[in-house]
Structure 1
Amino acid sequence: MVLSAVSTTFAATAKPLGTDGNVAVKNECRQRNSKRQQGLETNLKNLVTDRTLTQDQANKIKAVITKAKDAKKAN
Structure 2
Amino acid sequence: MSNFKTWSQKQDKILIDSSMSLGLEERNLDLNNKLWTAQALVEKPELIEDVHTEYFNAGSNLTVTNTYQASIKAI
Does the pair score TM above 0.5? no
Q: TM-score, normalised by structure 1?
A: 0.33
Whichever of the two has the greater Rg, that structure is: 1
Larger RCO, structure (CA 8 Å, separation 6 or more): 2
Q: TM-score, normalised by structure 2?
A: 0.33
